[in-house]
Amino acid sequence: MGDAARKYTLLTIGDGLVAQIPALIVSTAAGIIVTRSTTEHDLARDVTRQISEQPRALFIASAALALVGFIPAMPFFPFFILALALAVGGFLKSRAKVLEAKKLVEAEEAKVEIPEERIEAFLHPDPFEIEIGYGLISLVDTAQGGDLLGRISSIRKNIALELGVVIPPIRLRDNINLGANEYIFKVHGITVARGEVMVGYYLVLNPDPEAGLVGIETVEPTFNLPALWVSEEQKTKAEAAGYTVVEPPVVIATHLMEVLKSHAYKLLDRQEVQKMLDDLKEEKAAVVEGLTPDILPLGVIQQVLRNLLREGIPIRNLVTILETMADYAHITKDVDTLTEHVRTALADTITDIFKYDDKPIPVATLDPRLEDHILQATKKGEVYLGNLGLTPDQVKDVLTSIGEQVEQIVREGGRPALLVSSPIRRSVRQFTEPVLPNVAVLSFSELSPTVQLRSVGTVRYPDVV
- Which pTM does this prediction carry? 0.72
- Does residue 135 sit in the same domain as residue 259? yes
Q: What is the pLDDT of residues 5-21, one digit of tens each?
A: 666 666 666 666 566 66
Inside any domain, residue 362:
yes
Inside any domain, residue 117:
no
- Does residue 134 sit in the same domain as residue 255? yes
Inside any domain, residue 411:
yes
- Does residue 41 sit in the same domain as residue 146? no
**Quick one: average pLDDT of 129-156?**
93
pLDDT of residue 111: 47
Report the C-alpha gap between 438 and 427 in whole angstroms. Answer: 16
- Does residue 303 sit in the same domain as residue 398? no
DSSP string, 231-288: -HHHHHHHHHTT--EE-HHHHHHHHHHHHHHHHGGGG--HHHHHHHHHHHHTT-HHHH
* Residue 411 pLDDT exceeds 80: yes
Decide if 264 contacts 309 (C-beta within 8 A): yes
- Does residue 223 sit in the same domain as residue 143? yes
DSSP alpha helix (H) spans, 296-423 = 298-310, 318-328, 335-345, 347-354, 368-379, 392-411
- Does residue 137 sit in the same domain as residue 259? yes
DSSP alpha helix (H) spans, 36-175 = 43-52, 55-69, 76-110, 137-140, 148-163
Query: How many percent of the chain have pLDDT more than 70?
Result: 78
- Does residue 375 sit in the same domain as residue 399? yes
- Does residue 51 sit in the same domain as residue 150? no
Q: Cβ contacts of residue 75 below 8 Å, gap of 6+?
A: 69
Q: Which residue has the higher pLDDT, 224 or 266?
A: 266
The residue type of 375 is L
Inside any domain, residue 114:
no
pLDDT of residue 66: 72
CATH of the domain at 272: 1.10.8.540
Inside any domain, residue 115:
no
**Crossing angle between the packed helical segments 425-432 and 368-379, to the nearest 10 degrees:** 100
Q: What is the pLDDT of residues 324-353, one digit of tens each?
A: 999 999 999 999 999 999 999 999 999 999
Report the C-alpha gap between 201 and 437 in whole angstroms. Answer: 32
Inside any domain, residue 465:
no
Inside any domain, residue 235:
yes
- Does residue 96 sit in the same domain as residue 128? no
Considering the chain, what is the average pLDDT of its residues? 85
CATH of the domain at 373: 3.40.50.12790
Report the C-alpha gap between 387 and 399 in whole angstroms. Answer: 11
What distance lies between CA 10 and its chain's CA centroid? 89
**Quick one: average pLDDT of 245-260?**
95
Structural domain total, the chain: 5
- Does residue 132 sit in the same domain as residue 209? yes
- Does residue 164 sit in the same domain as residue 59? no
Q: Which of 11-15, 22-26, 241-245, 413-417 has the lowest mean pLDDT?
A: 11-15
Q: What is the pLDDT of residues 347-394, one digit of tens each?
A: 999 999 998 877 899 999 999 999 999 898 888 776 665 678 888 889
pLDDT of residue 112: 43
Inside any domain, residue 361:
yes
What distance lies between CA 269 and its chain's CA centroid? 21
Report the C-alpha gap between 62 and 59 in whole angstroms. Answer: 5
pLDDT of residue 392: 86
- Does residue 146 sit in the same domain as residue 204? yes
3 state DSSP class of 390: coil
pLDDT of residue 267: 96
Q: How far is CA 349 from CA 92, 269, 321, 448, in A?
A: 83, 23, 12, 9
**Quick one: average pLDDT of 428-440?**
92
Show the domain range for 93: 37-108
Report the C-alpha gap between 372 and 176 in whole angstroms. Answer: 55
Report the C-alpha gap between 348 and 363 in whole angstroms. Answer: 17
Residue 456 backbone dihedrals phi, psi, to 5 degrees: -90, -10
CATH of the domain at 132: 3.40.30.60
